Copies of this chain bind each other. A is one copy, B any other.
Amino acid sequence: MKETSRSETERVAGNGLLHRRMFLTGSAAAIGAGTIVDQAGAAPLAVEPWMRIPGAPFNAYGQPSKYEEKVARTWASAPGTGGTGSARTPHHLLNGMITPSGLHFERSHSGVPDIDPDKHRLLIHGLVKRPLVFTLDDLGRYPMQSRIAFVECAGNSGALFAKQPANANVQAIHGLLSCSEWTGIKLSVLLEEAGIDPAAKWVLAEGADAAGMSRSFPIEKALDDAMVCLYQNGERVRPSNGYPLRLLLPGFEGNMNVKWLRRIKLTAGPTMTKDETSKYTILLPSGKALQFVFPLEGKSIITHPSPGLTVRGPGFYEISGLAWSGYGKIAKVEVSADGGKSWGLAALQEPVLSKAVTRFRMAWQWDGGPAVLQSRATDETGYVQPSRAQLVALRGDRGNYHNNMIQSWAVAASGEVKNVYA
């Protein structure tokens, strides 16, 4: 009934996608989701039990409502371990750009170390003029900066390489991505303090976990936008994200953002640690592997609707999701409701920030028939997110890392949403 009020000129792509102008103007009348009541009967509402008694007292550190317990990370750990594996962010239950710190994804190689901040040290050594050791108090003296940035595990979305589409939701497939406001010290400031030997071309970063997780990266990144972070979303970095110190290499694959950072060493070449030789290389169809592939390419996922969020009958819906690129800002996100046959431009939520997630939103008038929803990100370098066929042609389907192919969600006439290949 409300359907008829939508002019055909609003439609920008097949299967009910509407112009993004409603997000720009803030006008979106005639969705009709509310229930009409008569003026006489409208007030008063029922006085619910929680209005009849004083509410809960103050507390020192708040938590989510008990009704939101389902909004939780899910995880898998290697046999015989409790903390070797990963825990995933429930993106289908979140909205906005910031991931709450309690739900930030976690990839750990030997659990979360219980670090006493007063005993923790950061050593900067190797090809420097003055090797330096810093306490946290020392680091607190340096000028800081803040940046909203995503961190994404190299293995995120690897499930989409499977020959048959897994019966899995956005958390299971894409939950190794999160976005926080990070605050800390530019690594370049600390390196200048130590004095960079001109022979230094690479940097080794090592964590204080039992795995001694360590990675090397070119010094150009250290001198560009690398940060030693003390704060995450305003407070000290959470233990599962590297308390009391983590490295942030904006846009680079997750494991390189070394958590529990204890050591930075300047070197002439890459260190070839176990974490960059035995894993985190990209296997090609030829049998050769790419090593040192650092930035994550342009990518997007639709979080609403997605599996588990059943569409409740024909009518208006917002399609929304996240887009990001390790190379800079998102330039545009296109959405399709017909499996890629036609595309419409989504609205991008401001502020659109470099190497941060951008929330996109698209208006959809669902006619109740089958639909296949897709999103396709383009970043400011002009890079376009590939289809599944394009990525498999390039990399084969035996890989695990850097999977940024377009995700397809099929919406059945029943409203059920499923992971499909299209």
Contact = CB atoms under 8 A, between A and B. Distances in A.
A37 B231 contact: no
Contact of A192 (B29, B138, B316, B349): B29
Interface string A207-219: 0111010000000
A141 B243 contact: no
Q: Which of A58, A139, A238 has the most CB of B within 10 A?
A: A58
A155 interface: no
Interface in A148-184: 148, 181-183
Interface in A24-51: 26-39, 42-43, 45-46, 48, 50-51
Nearest to A113: B50
| This chain's copy number in the assembly | 2
A146 B51 contact: no
Contacts of A60: 72-74
A382 interface: no
A235 B131 contact: no
Given A36-B132, A54-B210, A59 B73 contact: yes
Interface string A60-78: 1111110110011111010
A238 B64 contact: yes
A236 B92 CA distance: 12
Interface in A68-114: 68, 71-75, 77, 81-87, 93-104, 106, 108, 110-114
A144 interface: yes
Contacts of A96: 146, 181-183, 231, 233-234
Interface in A120-159: 120-121, 123-125, 130-134, 137-139, 141-146, 148
A102 B238 contact: no
B113 A34 contact: no
A146 B98 CA distance: 10
Given A50-B115, A233-B98, A234-B98, A57 B77 contact: yes
Interface in A197-250: 208-210, 212, 230-231, 233-236, 238-240, 243-244
A361 B144 contact: yes
A236 B34 contact: no
Nearest to A60: B72
A116 interface: yes
Contact of A36 (B32, B36, B67, B131): B131
The 7 closest A-B pairs by CB, nearest first: A55-B111, A57-B82, A34-B132, A60-B72, A50-B113, A58-B75, A33-B141
Given A58-B77, A67-B117, A99-B234, 10 more contacts: A23-B143, A28-B143, A31-B193, A42-B133, A54-B210, A60-B73, A61-B73, A94-B235, A95-B234, A103-B235
Interface of A: 22-23, 26-39, 42-43, 45-46, 48, 50-65, 67-68, 71-75, 77, 81-87, 93-104, 106, 108, 110-117, 119-121, 123-125, 130-134, 137-139, 141-146, 148, 181-183, 186, 188-190, 192-194, 208-210, 212, 230-231, 233-236, 238-240, 243-244, 262-263, 265, 312, 315-318, 320, 349, 351, 353, 359, 361, 363
28 contacts: A27-B188, A29-B189, A29-B192, A33-B134, A35-B134, A36-B131, A43-B125, A45-B263, A51-B208, A55-B83, A58-B83, A59-B240, A62-B240, A64-B239, A65-B117, A65-B239, A94-B235, A95-B146, A95-B231, A96-B146, A100-B233, A100-B234, A100-B235, A103-B235, A143-B361, A144-B318, A146-B359, A233-B233
